[in-house]
Amino acid sequence: MENKEFQNAWTTPRQEVAQQGFSTTLYKDWDEYGVQQHDVHLNGLPTGKRHIVYKNQFVNTCSKQYVLLPNEQVINTVEKIMKEHPEYGLVPDMSVNNNAKWCNQNGNMISSKKTSVFPSGTTMFTRYVLDEEFDPTGDGRPIKMGISIGNSIDLSRGFSIMPYHYRGYCTNSMFHVATQQVLADGNTELVGNVSDRTIPSVIAQDNLRNGERFVKEDAKAFNKAMRNVRHTKRLTDELINENIVRILSSLEVLKTRYSEMHDVKMTQFHAQRIADTMPKTSLAKFDFMDVKEKTRENGTTYFEAELTKESTTQWEGFNALTDYLSHGSLGFNSTMNHYREVDRIFAQ
C-alpha cells in the first residue's frame, strides 16, 4: 500500500451513523472521476442499499452486490488495450454530428444529457473506427466500420461492445445495440420474410446460409463469455480484449449484410415493424410508407402501415431510420433503444 493510501485509510476509521431516520456513510470513491458510493442506513441499521453520486449529484440506488464501473475507468481500460494492439487498426472516431440533440459529445465519446432523473454524463458510448472505408452500394458514398464501447453508472445499461458504423457524407451513425441477440437468433427476417423469386434475394439467402454457422458460433461464444459479467469483478482486460476481437470479426458479416440490403427490397413486414416500434412522431417522415391510426372493437387504437414505394430497398429504409435517430431529439437511452429496434428490423 502506498503511503498516501495508508494515511487516507486512517483518516476516518469510524463514521457516526444517525440512530433515527436515514443516513449514509461513504463506502468508496473515485476522486479522479467524481464518482462515489455511499452505504444507506435506516435508524442506525444497514439497508443493504447504496447511493451512487456523480460530481456531487445523486444518480441512483443500487444493491451492495452491484460493482460500479466508472465510465472513465472503462474508457481508459479499453483504449489501453487498443493502443497495445495496433494490428486491430482501430482509431478514435472524432467525427462530429452538430445536429444531434440527444447527446453531448467530447471527441470520440457521446454521453447522456441531464434529465429529470439523472445528471448529465451518467451513460456513455465511445466510438472507434477502422482506418479504411467500405462502400456497400458502390455509389461512391463509403462508410467507416468500427466498434462502440458502452457503459453507465446509472444502472440503465451494463458494459457492452457492439459493432458501429459512421457515414461521413451525411453525419449518420448506426449503433448495433441488438447485435448480440441478432447474431444469436440468426437472420430470420431477411431469409424468411423477403421474396424468394428474385435473383438478389436468392444470392442474399445463400450468402447468409454460408455464414450462418460462423455467426451462431461467434454469438454463442460471446454470450457464454459475457454471461453474468454485468459490472462484476470478472470483467478483466483479457475478457474485454477477447470480445473486441469477436466484434471485429462480426464486422465482416455486417459488411455482407449491408451490401445485400442494397439489392433486396423493403416488404410490408418491414413497414409494419417500423410502425410498431418507432416513435409515432417519426412515421410521417418516412416517404416510403403510409401509416393510419385504426381502432379495434374494444376501443384500443393501433397503427396500420402500408408500403407505398415498393421500389425502396432495405438499405434505403435502414438509412432513413438511422438518419432520424442520429439527428433526432429523443432522450439518450430512448435513442439507443430505438437503434436496437432498427437492428432487429433490418439486421436479423
Question: What gap in Å lies between CA 148 and CA 82, rounded to an integer?
Answer: 12
**pTM (two decimals):** 0.80
Q: Which residues pair with 38 in a beta bridge?
A: 26, 51
- Please answer whether residues 123 and 333 qualify as being in contact, where contact means their C-beta atoms are separated by less than 8 angstroms: yes
Question: What is the arithmetic mean of pLDDT over 69-86?
Answer: 94
The H or E element that residue 301 is part of is: strand 301-307
12 C-beta neighbours (distance < 10 Å), count? 10
Domain boundaries defined on the chain? 3-63, 71-264, 270-307
CA atoms within 13 A on the CB side of 258: 22
Q: What is the pLDDT of residues 184-218, one digit of tens each?
A: 333 223 233 333 344 444 444 444 444 444 445 55
Please spell the DSSP secondary structure of 147-192, one letter per residue. Answer: EEEEEESSSS---EEEEEEEETTTTEEEE-TTHHHHHHH-SHHHHH
| Residue that wins the pLDDT comparison between 82 and 190 | 82
CA distance 326 to 346: 17
Cβ atoms of 109 and 135 closer than 8 Å: no
Give 137's DSSP letter.
S
- Long-range contact set of residues 134-142: C-beta below 8 Å, sequence gap at least 24: 134/255, 134/258, 136/255, 136/258, 136/259, 136/261, 136/262, 136/315, 137/259, 137/262, 137/315, 141/167, 141/169
Taking a C-beta distance cutoff of 8 angstroms, is the pair 96, 103 a contact? Answer: no
User: What is the reported pLDDT for 146?
Assistant: 96
Q: What is the pLDDT of residues 133-157, one digit of tens each?
A: 999 988 888 999 999 999 999 988 8
Q: How confident is the model at residue 203, as a pLDDT?
A: 43
Cα(80)–Cα(237) distance, integer angstroms: 9
- The pLDDT score that the predictor gives to residue 227 is 53
pLDDT recorded at residue 188: 29
In the chain, % of residues over pLDDT 70: 80
